[in-house]
A and B are shown apart, each in its own frame.
Chain A
Amino acid sequence: MPLGTLTKFSAALGQALLGASRDLAPIITVIALFQILVLRQPFPELLSVLGGLGLVTIGLALFVVGLDIGLFPLGETLAEEFARKGNLFWLLLFAFGLGAGTTVAEPALIAVTREGAKAAAEAGLIENISASIDRYAFHVRLTVALSVGAAIVLGVLRILRGWSLPVLIVGGYVLVMLMTLFAPKEIVGLAYDSGGVTTSTVTVPLVTALGVGLARSIRGRDPLTDGFGLIALASLTPMIFVMLFGLIVD
């Protein structure tokens, strides 16, 4: 790496370190205050806690630097290239792959679907043996991955066509409310939770950059009004798809 880039990189890292310390100050203060004032106990293993705090700060700083020079530019470049190429099929396929591919292996989703499948087995929806619990959990996970893929496709189409986001979202939530009335009770909680866990820390910057980049490359679209909204759709569709899955299985 040439010296100039290195200096620029370390300057950016220094600034990111300052930012990270500021971002982490509240949580550290809250935990320390409660430990001292309310629980009145000394910190267990102070050394490892301090080491951990150092790691958290460095980690957040590196992540922010990586966002600015890696994830954001890549997402935007891809969006521009797709817009220039003008091939709708490939763009939609890419959108689907980005949504479904990043969701299917998401650790939080794996944990939530396993808990949900156990609850379903206890309620007698499926047989209470580990093979059928695993299969049920896997099917829910696939359903959620499909739904996130569909959400990103829908969101990209919205940016291209200029559809109204509030209509889509509010319509979606009305659908969720209606389905809540009919879906089996045990799946409702699982459906609501799977909406919240689908968007991981790597997916969010890429998807956001894709949306904003597309909106910027297409004439007549505003990056702020049209570029956002993909993540909102990705949190909505899993609820609909999982409840639909529950209705079908039932």
Chain B
Amino acid sequence: MKILFDPMMLLMATAKDVLPVLGLLVLFQILVLKRPIPRLGRIISGFVAALIGMTCFLGGLDLAIFPVGRAMALQLAEGAQNGGKVTWIAYGWVYLFAFLVGFSTTIAEPSLIAVAHKAHEASRKAISSWGLRIAVAIGVAIGITLGTFRIVTGTPLYLYIMAGYVVVVIQTVFAPRMIIPLAYDSGGVTTSTVTVPLVAALGLGLASNVPGRSPIMDGFGLIAFASVFPIISVLGYAQLAHWIVRRRNRKT
């Protein structure tokens, strides 16, 4: 077993992420609010648990998921370009991989878990946290698949993104009002720890293997897809739920 995982260094890196936030919180608590935090011990142990958790999570991803996922994305991208002629079956595997990776990494995304927890609580349990996460994951999966299709066909990025936002605007007019802020937020939380490294590897692998694509210009655009399509799918999920409830009410 190779020692790829350096726990101390990783813990330091995570701590560097957390310390500025913690410093700011303590500073404001002492200087401005001037009141002791209730249940301080509990909150500190929570912070420590989250810190150690993030460290293990990132270290484990580096050991188990990223090397295999990256190698696979590159291999699939290379395989699809079989001897210079485009084979559609090979690209079929690429699209399927893009869809499944988009879906499954989003389910494992810690930021989304956090937002879904809070949404469940803030909606007085009307929004199921698991349902919200599946809706977001479907959106990311569709977005990433379309994004790889765009890299393969070479159509301009902004066309897709603008079309996506036009759909969002139209849905905003008709969707139930209470879901809108949450749907907008879902676009921002999907692209963090788990999704970005794998998806970026897929994009870069494709862009450097499909002739006429530049890895810099085409490789990174996938992230933008993963931010627009979850908004559409969450709004759609709410519209569907709303419609089903209304229809059931009309019948009875």
Contact = CB atoms under 8 A, between A and B. Distances in A.
**Pair from one complex:** yes
Interface of A: 23-24, 26-31, 34-35, 38-39, 43-45, 47-74, 77-78, 81-82, 85, 87, 90, 94, 97-98, 101-102, 104-108, 112, 115, 118-119, 165-166, 169-170, 173, 177, 180, 188-189, 192-193, 195-206, 208-209, 212, 215-216, 222-232, 234-235
Interface of B: 1-2, 4-5, 13, 16-18, 20-21, 24-25, 28-29, 32-33, 35, 37-39, 42-65, 67-69, 72, 75-76, 93, 97, 100-101, 103-105, 107-108, 110-111, 113-115, 117-119, 121-123, 127, 157-158, 161-162, 165, 169, 172, 177-178, 180-182, 184-185, 187-189, 191-194, 196, 216-217, 220-221, 223-224, 226-227
Contacts of B28: 78, 90, 94, 97
5 contacts: A31-B68, A55-B63, A62-B56, A78-B25, A229-B185
B181 A196 contact: no
B122 A52 contact: no
A48 B4 contact: yes
Given A59-B60, A196-B191, A225-B178, A170 B105 contact: no
B63 A49 contact: yes
Contacts of B223: 192-193, 196-197
A26 B17 CA distance: 28
Nearest to B14: A202
Given A27-B194, A29-B104, A67-B117, A81 B35 contact: yes
A58 to B, nearest CB: 5
Contacts of B191: 196-197
Given A27-B107, A90-B28, 7 more contacts: A38-B97, A45-B1, A49-B64, A52-B60, A173-B169, A193-B223, A225-B180
Given A195-B227, A212-B122, A82 B196 contact: no
Residue picked from A56, A102, A223, most chain B C-beta under 10 Å:
A56
B32 A35 contact: no
A54 B54 CA distance: 13
A107 B54 CA distance: 14
Contacts of A180: 158
Contacts of A105: 16-17, 20
B115 A30 contact: no
B65 A31 contact: yes
